[in-house]
């Protein structure tokens, strides 16, 4: 049984189709998938009230299948200009990867011009919407131990992408909105729509920049050169955000405070790194440990790629 068969036969409520996905996806046959009609019904015709995010390739909706299973439905935008080959590559990548800190793929829909991915739905949204968002979920307590677990979980998931699978996977868009939280606040790295496989005998890939400003490594933003160390840079920014409880870029603040990474380096040079730590953290805060996390974040954001650590 192929990896496609194994993963797609786990879906609940999917409509099995025995023909090929479509002419644009040669070589992929006899796999179970969702029909567009089923996903249209699950999302109430993709109603805006069910929209839960905007990924790199298009909007994401919450849906409910016939059996009551909640799913996240990622509709790949026509404007993304993602071709069938790219879509197939993404499916192959996702279907063959399984880790506690990565989102689970339920299935897909390829029907006419529609290309849709279906994932498990995660109850607590993303770090961008909760810890860093203006409308924080009051029920979620981001104490220090919770933040430590989130940082470690993201690191483990990213390390698995970099070194636990072959060929290696470079995510290319590690950021707070791509870190989802389940009911136990276990972090899950999402949105492999921007990921690209990195062959083991190639050190870097020059490609169009697909990441998010504020998280981009300089070599990626300027030259379009992406390596695993580009992900490490983005992880470093994320780490500092989690410890500080604020976004890396905030134009509402005074000019000198708008870029968190620059401010963190400044405090580090002054020997006042503890000033960056989120002041709302309670009694379980370990200041020394928080400062160590910040130092790791800064090390990850070194301009020279060779000076950045590996995720593993």
Measure the CA–CA gap between 42 and 12, rounded to whole angstroms: 12
Phi, psi for 204 (deg, rounded to 5): -150, 160
pLDDT of residue 175: 92
Taking alpha carbons only, the member of 209, 249, 248 closest to residue 230 is 209
Q: Across the chain, where does the E strand assignment appear? A: 15-16, 32-33, 51-55, 58-64, 70-75, 105-111, 114-120, 168-170, 179-181, 187-189, 196-198, 205-206, 225-226
State which residues of the chain have pLDDT below 50: 1-12, 16-27, 29-32, 193, 196-202, 205-206, 208-209
Question: Is this model's pTM higher than 0.75 or not?
Answer: yes
Where do the domains of the chain lie, and which CATH numbers do they carry? 3-120 (3.30.200.20), 144-307 (1.10.510.10)
Q: Looking at residue 90, what is its pLDDT? A: 65
| Nearest one of 225, 180, 54, 34 to 117, comparing CA atoms | 34
Distance CA 84, CA 87 (A): 5
Known catalytic residues are: 173
Helices (H), 177-227: 218-223
| pLDDT for position 81 | 55
**Among 173, 199, 208, 177, which residue's Cα sits nearest to residue 81?**
208
* pLDDT tens readout for residues 120-150: 899 999 999 899 976 555 578 899 999 999 9
Among candidates 201, 124, 210, 200, which has minimal Cα distance to 169? 200
pLDDT at position 218 is 78
Confirm if 207 and 224 have CB atoms less than 8 A apart: yes
At residue 265, the pLDDT reads 97
CB 210 within 8 A of CB 146: no
Q: Tokens 């790791």: give the residue.
A: 296
């Amino acid at each position: 049984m192929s990896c496609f068969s194994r993963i797609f036969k786990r879906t609940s409520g999917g409509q099995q189709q025995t023909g090929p996905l479509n002419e644009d996806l040669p070589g992929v046959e006899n796999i179970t998938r969702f029909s567009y009609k089923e996903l249209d019904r699950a999302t109430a015709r993709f109603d805006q009230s069910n929209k839960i995010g905007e990924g790199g390739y298009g909007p994401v909706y919450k849906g409910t299948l016939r059996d009551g299973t909640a799913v996240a439905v990622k509709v790949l935008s026509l404007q993304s200009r993602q071709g069938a080959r790219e879509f197939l590559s993404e499916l192959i990548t996702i279907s063959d990867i399984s880790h506690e800190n990565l989102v689970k793929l339920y299935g897909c829909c390829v029907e006419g011009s529609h290309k849709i991915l279906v994932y498990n739905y995660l109850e607590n949204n993303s770090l961008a919407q909760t810890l860093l968002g203006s409308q924080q979920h009051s029920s979620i307590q981001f104490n220090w131990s919770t933040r430590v677990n989130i940082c470690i979980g993201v690191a483990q998931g990213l390390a698995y992408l970099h070194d636990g699978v072959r060929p290696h996977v470079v995510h290319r868009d590690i950021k707070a909105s791509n870190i989802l939280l389940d009911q136990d606040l276990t972090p899950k790295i999402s949105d492999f729509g921007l990921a690209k496989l990195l062959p083991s005998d190639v050190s870097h890939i020059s490609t169009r920049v697909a990441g998010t400003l504020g998280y981009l490594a300089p070599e990626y933003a300027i030259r379009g050169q992406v390596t695993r160390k580009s992900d490490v840079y983005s992880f470093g920014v994320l780490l500092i955000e989690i410890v500080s409880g604020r976004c890396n870029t905030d134009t509402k603040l005074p000019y000198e405070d708008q870029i968190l990474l620059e401010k963190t380096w400044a405090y580090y040079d002054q020997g006042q790194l503890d000033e960056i730590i989120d002041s709302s953290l309670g009694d379980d805060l370990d200041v020394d440990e928080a400062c160590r996390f910040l130092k790791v974040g800064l090390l990850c954001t070194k301009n020279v790629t060779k000076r950045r650590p590996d995720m593993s």
